[in-house]
Structure 1
């Protein structure tokens, strides 16, 4: 599944987009999109529980591989899921804000 362009994602973030990060907790703590909720791909129920049904769900990982798999799974259960091309690594390289720390925002 092709990921959404980083500029489209940035516009979504500016409008209060719902973002999940499907990496593992240690990866999340090392750097994530501010406001992203942790929903590790290794815990399938965490990815599905609590998603909004009225707007897109942007799916993040490190580079875009896991987010594509997670978005396919979420679409299969009816979510409007969109992987973000390049993931957190591309955002960090572009100078976009990256939050660090605990997984307090877990889904």
Structure 2
């Protein structure tokens, strides 16, 4: 399946404009640092938790480097979610100087 992909600069612009970002890494990776406001839904849970993603509007999906988020975006797009992969993942997000927070987001499952 063809998955749209954006670079870190575009992801940061869209995030600041209010497009939701979802993190599909594992809880230990997430707690170490993640995009502010991004809920954690590990890749292995995405298919079972599709209802937690917005039914309309674009969503951005991020992992460590872009591989897991691409797979998650494929799963979501097959279920009708307008998911876009963030190329380079959290490593590129941090390298570009974008903000990260550590610890679990309030109400996060599994983190």
TM-score by length of 2: 0.87
Count of aligned residue pairs for this structure pair: 106
- Report the equivalent of 1:51: 53
- 3-state SS of paired residue (1:37): coil
Shift of 1:105: 5.0
- Report the equivalent of 1:64: 66
In 1, the alpha carbon distance for the partners of 2:107 and 2:13 equals 21
Shift of 1:58: 0.2
> Is residue 37–residue 106 contact of structure 1 (8 Å, CA) maintained in 2?
yes
> Is residue 62–residue 89 contact of structure 2 (8 Å, CA) maintained in 1?
yes
In the superposition, relative to structure 1, how do residues 59 and 73 fare at CA in structure 2: closer, same or farther (>3 Å)? same
- Report the equivalent of 2:106: 104
In 2, the alpha carbon distance for the partners of 1:5 and 1:91 equals 9
> Is residue 60–residue 86 contact of structure 2 (8 Å, CA) maintained in 1?
yes
Could you tell me which runs of 5 or more consecutive residues in structure 2 were left unpaired when the two chains were aligned.
Answer: none
> Is residue 63–residue 90 contact of structure 1 (8 Å, CA) maintained in 2?
yes
- Report the equivalent of 1:20: 22
Q: Which runs of 4+ in 1 moved over 2 A?
A: 103-107
TM-score by length of 1: 0.90
